[in-house]
């Protein structure tokens, strides 16, 4: 989201192989190695073919295949055919019993163009998210500095390192972007780890709007109050598995979609889902600390009616059904300033995830 100066993120995450989330040093080294290998092997595709067995085959320019990332092959001259005739049996000696020819499963759904090679893309095994949803409690937290903003939102992510791809939506207070301190519905996307691609709402090309009633970036009303009425918006993001477009719903109304062509890996599935809040500021982890609040401004342990929450947390997997995720974990950058709590009491709609905080409200975060 712009070039990040510093950002605090609090989230409940579907617990997957994600570097930096609840890992020991050895875990992080292993996960970094996975990221490195994914980065090497998952190359930009000329064409993608989805196989009936779930594999994704990318047709990659033959000159951009992973082999040429090896230092010893930087000046390698590609040999398109052998310099000798490779040994083979004569056709008249081959068994001609009429048995069917064995093919690779993906070939039933297409072929790669000339000048490309088929490469099976690698994703984190076992995590295949096709959507997420949640009811996000609506507040209007204080934003302290001119360049600060604060959000409550859902993320769906795919891809390693600097090739991180993400589609996001929720509510935000961002005076620099919107010109005021109102709470507003927002969307965001990136295809390269927030470096050069993507933007909020419709401030760049990418997101395709289809609804005539919901405006991206529009303010939300009414707002929740401490000890008073609580209001929420329902955000849902779902992949069309046939076309690879990510569809956005706001209060169960279909708003539009992020086209598959914006992404490389994310057009097939997400490997990480997050719900939570973030504060962006040039004065995070500094003295004086930004006073920009997250959520309601109350810490998570203030609970229902006081702290910001996300409830009815759901993911969509290959069953194409909404369900509570099997494995989750909470994570945050500055627990003295902002914190998180996944309350697993026997609520009718399942656990409720609380998060938030207001720097300056305690002696440990000034």
Which of 76-90, 145-159, 351-365 is predicted most confidently? 145-159
Least confident of 39-43, 164-168, 196-200: 39-43
Is residue 250 located within the same domain as residue 334? yes
Same domain as 298, residue 170? yes
pLDDT digits (tens, 9 = 90+) for 224-266: 999 999 999 999 999 999 899 999 999 999 999 999 999 988 9
Per the CB < 8 A criterion, the answer to whether 170 and 235 are in contact is yes
**Is residue 69 located within the same domain as residue 131?**
no
306 and 296 Cβ atoms separated by less than 8 Å? yes
Using CA atoms, how far apart are residues 357 and 339, in angstroms rounded to an integer?
7
Regarding whether 262 and 115 lie in a shared domain, the answer is no
Q: Residue 30 falls within a domain, yes or no?
A: no
Q: Which long-range contacts (CB under 8 A, 24 or more apart) does 78-86 make?
A: none
Average pLDDT, the chain: 84
How many helices and strands, by DSSP H and E, does the chain display? 2, 18
Judgement on whether residues 169 and 47 belong to the same structural domain of the protein: no
Lowest mean pLDDT among 2-6, 318-322, 336-340: 2-6
Regarding beta strands 308-316 and 56-61, do their DSSP bridges make them parallel or antiparallel, or are they unpaired?
unpaired
- One domain for residues 160 and 276: yes
Q: Where are the alpha helices (DSSP H) in 131-264?
A: 175-178
Is the pLDDT reported for residue 26 higher than 70? no
The answer to whether position 162 is within a domain reads yes
Q: Would residue 217 count as lying in a domain?
A: yes
Of 2-16, 26-40, 68-82, the poorest mean pLDDT is in 26-40
Task: Give the pLDDT band of residue 84 (cuts 50, 70, 90).
Answer: confident
Q: What is the pLDDT of residue 34?
A: 42
**Which pLDDT value is given to residue 20?**
24
Whether residue 199 has pLDDT greater than 50: yes
Query: Cβ distance 204 to 180 under 8 Å?
Result: no
Q: How many structural domains does the chain have?
A: 2
Percent of the chain with pLDDT over 70: 82
Same-domain pairing of 139 and 272: yes
Tell me how far apart the 2 most distant CA atoms of the chain are, in Å.
87
pLDDT value, residue 35: 47
Whether residue 249 is found in the same domain as residue 226: yes
* Residue 60 covered by a domain: yes
Among residues 91, 121, 151, the one where a domain terminates is: 121
What's the pLDDT score for residue 354? 96
State mean pLDDT over 188-213.
Answer: 94
Residue 348, burial from CB neighbour count under 10 angstroms (0-12, 13-18, 19+): exposed
C-alpha span between 87 and 277 (Å, rounded):
63
Task: Give a yes or no: residue 35 inside a domain.
Answer: no
Q: Indicate the SS3 state at residue 67.
A: helix
The verdict on 343 and 207 lying in the same domain is: yes
Give the strand pairing for 116-120 and 272-280.
Answer: unpaired
Same domain, 285 and 313: yes
Domain holding 219, by residue range, is 7-20+125-356
Does the residue 250 lie in any domain?
A: yes
pLDDT of residue 360: 84
CATH number of 351's domain: 2.60.120
Structural domain contains residue 312: yes
Q: Are residues 152 and 72 in the same domain?
A: no
Q: Which of 361, 360, 355 is nearest to 8 (CA)?
A: 355
Residue 87 lies in a domain: no
Specify the 3-state DSSP secondary structure of 308.
Answer: strand
Read off the pTM.
Answer: 0.72
Supply the pLDDT for residue 2: 41
What pLDDT was estimated at residue 83?
85
In angstroms, the Cα distances linking 22 to 8, 100, 280, 289, 328 are 16, 50, 22, 25, 11
349: closest CA among 315, 316, 323? Answer: 323
If asked whether residues 61 and 185 sit together in one domain, one would say: no
What strands lie across the sheet with 56-61, from one edge to the other? 47-50, 56-61, 116-120
């Amino acid at each position: 989201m712009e070039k990040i100066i510093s950002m605090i993120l609090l989230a409940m995450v579907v617990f997957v192989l994600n570097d930096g989330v609840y890992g020991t040093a050895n875990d992080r080294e292993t996960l970094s190695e996975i990221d490195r290998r994914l980065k090497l092997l998952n190359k930009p595709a000329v064409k993608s073919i989805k196989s009936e067995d779930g594999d994704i085959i990318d047709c990659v320019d033959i000159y951009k295949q992973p082999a040429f990332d090896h230092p010893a092959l930087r000046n390698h001259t590609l040999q398109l055919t052998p310099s000798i005739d490779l040994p083979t049996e004569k056709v008249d000696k081959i068994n001609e019993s009429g048995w069917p020819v064995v093919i690779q499963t993906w070939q039933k759904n297409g072929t790669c163009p000339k000048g490309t090679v088929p490469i099976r893309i690698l994703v984190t095994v076992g995590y295949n998210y096709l959507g997420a949803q949640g009811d996000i409690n609506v507040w209007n937290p204080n934003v302290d500095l001119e360049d600060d903003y604060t959000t409550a939102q859902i993320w769906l992510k795919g891809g390693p390192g600097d090739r991180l791809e993400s589609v996001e939506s929720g509510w935000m207070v961002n005076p620099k972007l919107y010109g005021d301190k109102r709470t507003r519905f927002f969307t965001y996307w990136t295809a390269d780890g927030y470096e050069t691609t993507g933007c909020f709402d419709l401030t760049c090309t990418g997101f395709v709007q289809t609804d005539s009633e919901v405006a991206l970036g529009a303010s939300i009303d009414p707002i929740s109050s401490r000890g008073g009425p609580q209001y929420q918006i329902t955000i849902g993001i779902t992949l069309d598995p046939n076309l690879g477009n990510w569809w956005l719903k706001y209060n169960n109304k279909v708003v539009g979609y992020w086209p598959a062509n914006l992404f490389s890996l994310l057009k097939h599935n997400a490997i990480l889902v997050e719900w939570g809040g973030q504060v962006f500021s040039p004065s995070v982890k500094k003295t004086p600390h930004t006073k920009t609040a997250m959520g309601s401004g109350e810490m998570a342990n203030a609970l229902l009616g006081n702290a910001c929450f996300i409830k009815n947390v759901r993911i969509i997997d290959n069953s194409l059904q909404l369900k509570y995720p099997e494995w989750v974990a909470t994570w945050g950058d500055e627990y003295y300033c902002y914190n998180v709590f996944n309350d697993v009491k026997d609520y009718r709609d399942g656990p409720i995830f609380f998060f938030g905080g207001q720097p300056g409200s305690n002696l440990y975060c000034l």
